[in-house]
């Protein structure tokens, strides 16, 4: 059982996933800082000094902090858009690499074909 767990835990996919989670967490912190420290102050300036995160409604003794919720939605949208753009660029680069690899394989195939033809011609000459 330990051996099976070790094989599972040390597979590339599990390690890749762990690295992705750590990098994703760090990326989330960066985007949250971008939203809180740069974008939301600009939104506040444009909207006449309104701080979205501080918007609340008091219902009796209950405090509904819908501004913090709005800020979380904005954070999510920016993070989702950033990841979308990153994946779009990464997929484009991967497709470009695949095309380059296909060209190399085709060139190798042509080389092998030419070598076989040369070998056949040499064999005919000797015979």
Within 8 A by CB and 6+ apart from 44, the residues are 50, 51, 52
The rounded percent of the chain whose pLDDT value lies above 70 is 87
27 in any annotated domain:
yes
Whether 64 is covered by a domain: the verdict is: yes
Tell me whether residue 127 is in a domain.
no
Q: What is the pLDDT of residues 40-54, one digit of tens each?
A: 778 778 877 666 777
In a domain, 119, yes or no: no
Confidence label for 65 from pLDDT (cuts 50, 70 and 90): confident
User: pLDDT value at position 107?
Assistant: 66
Q: Give Cβ neighbours of residue 50 (< 8 Å, ≥ 6 apart).
A: 43, 44
Q: What are the tens digits of pLDDT across the range 5-23?
A: 777 766 667 777 788 888 8
Contact 52, 68 (CB under 8 A): no
* Alpha carbon distance 94, 88 (integer Å): 10
Q: How many residues does the chain have?
A: 127
In a domain, 16, yes or no: yes
- Select the more confidently predicted residue: 111 or 30: 30
Give residue 19's pLDDT: 81
| Buried/exposed code over 45-59 (b: 16+ C-beta within 10 A; e: otherwise) | eeeeeeebbeeeeee
- 64: β partners: 57
Number of domains present in the structure of the chain: 1
pTM: predicted TM-score of the whole model, two decimal places: 0.49
Question: Does 70 have pLDDT greater than 80?
Answer: yes
Please give the residue range of the domain that contains residue 73: 2-95
Cβ proximity of 50 and 58 under 8 Å: no
CATH of residue 70: 1.10.1200.120
Query: Scanning the structure block, which residue is given the tokens 């092998």?
Result: 112
């Amino acid at each position: 059982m330990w051996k099976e767990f070790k094989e599972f835990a040390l597979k590339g996919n599990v390690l890749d996933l762990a690295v992705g989670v750590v990098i994703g967490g760090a990326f989330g912190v960066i985007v949250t800082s971008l939203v809180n420290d740069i974008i939301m102050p600009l939104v506040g300036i444009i909207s006449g000094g309104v701080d979205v995160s501080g918007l609340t409604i008091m219902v009796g003794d209950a405090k509904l902090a819908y501004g913090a919720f709005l800020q979380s939605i904005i954070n999510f949208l920016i993070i989702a858009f950033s990841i979308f753009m990153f994946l779009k660029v990464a997929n484009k680069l991967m497709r470009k690499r695949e095309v380059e690899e296909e060209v190399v394989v085709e060139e190798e195939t042509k080389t092998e074909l030419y070598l076989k033809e040369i070998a056949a011609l040499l064999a005919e000459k000797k015979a």
